[in-house]
Amino acid sequence: MTSATRRDELARNLTAVRERVARACDAVGSDPGEVHLIVVTKHFPASDVLTLHELGVRDIGENRDQEAAGKVGEVRAALREHSSGVADALTVHFIGQLQSNKAGRVAGYADAVHSLDRAKVIDALARGAESADRVLDGLVQVSLDGDTSRGGARREEVSELADRIAAHHRLRLRGVMAVAPVGADPALCFADLRDIADGIRASHPEAGWISAGMSADLEPAVAAGATHLRVGTAILGSRAPLL
């Protein structure tokens, strides 16, 4: 159970982030209603997720299957028990590096996977979605500096991977995702991502998502046309990883 103090903290932080998004949209003349806030709940308990749901959050992000699988199941069970049918209103975005041997399990609870950066992972996720009788949204993660050790495909690989996602009937190609490299100018990075996204949309008009921007750099992400922001610390605070 979340204390009243924790609920107030989450409500206050959530309002502050929503106001930042609104100001960022106003600065570039975009519609705040077209920018989706994904609250990254990794390292935080199911009780926080349920409180966020009460506060109107419908999109959460998770990074690690080991943590996410049980937490998402707990949250959805609680929503079904206390709010008949509302469990379906929670959209789970898997945003961490995905291994092919975990893709099948992720396909069972995630609604969107933002971190597709290898053919092997895409194919494994599609098989998992087939087994689970589900259709998932998929994004190509782009490495903006070419260092794939932290996840993401090189620029020259993105188009082929996008085609591969689109070819699977259990996957819907939605767009691209990236993290600004440490020490780089986020504005330049996200402008680069926007160019890549435009290239993908030329072949796949339905792939309109640009997943970019976190707690520290959401404003330049909005300025570059981000449709999905992944914000954790600014809303939930800092916390040691759950065991």
Please indicate, yes or no, if residue 190 is contained in any of the structural domains: yes
Within 76-221, strands assigned E span 91-94, 112-116, 136-141, 171-177, 209-211
How far is it, in rounded angstroms, from Cα 139 to Cα 171? 10
Write out the H or E segment, with its range, that includes residue 4.
Answer: helix 4-28
- Which structure tokens are listed for 151? 């996840």
Rg, C-alpha atoms of the chain: 17
DSSP state letters, 169-192: TTEEEEEEE--PPTTS-HHHHHHH
Residue with tokens 């997720």: 49
pLDDT of amino acid 108: 97
3-class DSSP state of 143: coil
Please indicate, yes or no, if residue 198 is contained in any of the structural domains: yes
Q: What pTM does this model have?
A: 0.95
CATH number of 183's domain = 3.20.20.10
What is the span of the domain harbouring residue 134? 4-232
Please indicate, yes or no, if residue 141 is contained in any of the structural domains: yes
pLDDT of amino acid 23: 98
Neighbours of 122 (CB within 10 A): 24
Domains identified in the chain, total number: 1
pLDDT of amino acid 82: 80
Please indicate, yes or no, if residue 202 is contained in any of the structural domains: yes
Q: What does the DSSP 8-state code read for residue 153?
A: B
Low-confidence ranges of the chain (pLDDT < 50): 243
3-class DSSP state of 213: coil
3-class DSSP state of 62: strand
Write the pLDDT tens digit of every residue in 190-220: 999 999 999 999 999 999 999 999 999 999 9
Distance set, CA 231 to CA 26, 85, 187 (Å): 19, 26, 17
Please indicate, yes or no, if residue 241 is contained in any of the structural domains: no
How far is it, in rounded angstroms, from Cα 138 to Cα 124? 12
Dihedral class, residue 84 (left if φ above 0, else alpha if ψ from -120 to 50, else beta): beta
Write the pLDDT tens digit of every residue in 23-58: 999 999 999 999 999 999 999 999 999 999 999 999
The β-bridge partners of 93 are 61, 112
Please indicate, yes or no, if residue 16 is contained in any of the structural domains: yes
Please indicate, yes or no, if residue 58 is contained in any of the structural domains: yes
How far is it, in rounded angstroms, from Cα 164 to Cα 177? 16
Please indicate, yes or no, if residue 133 is contained in any of the structural domains: yes
pLDDT of amino acid 219: 98
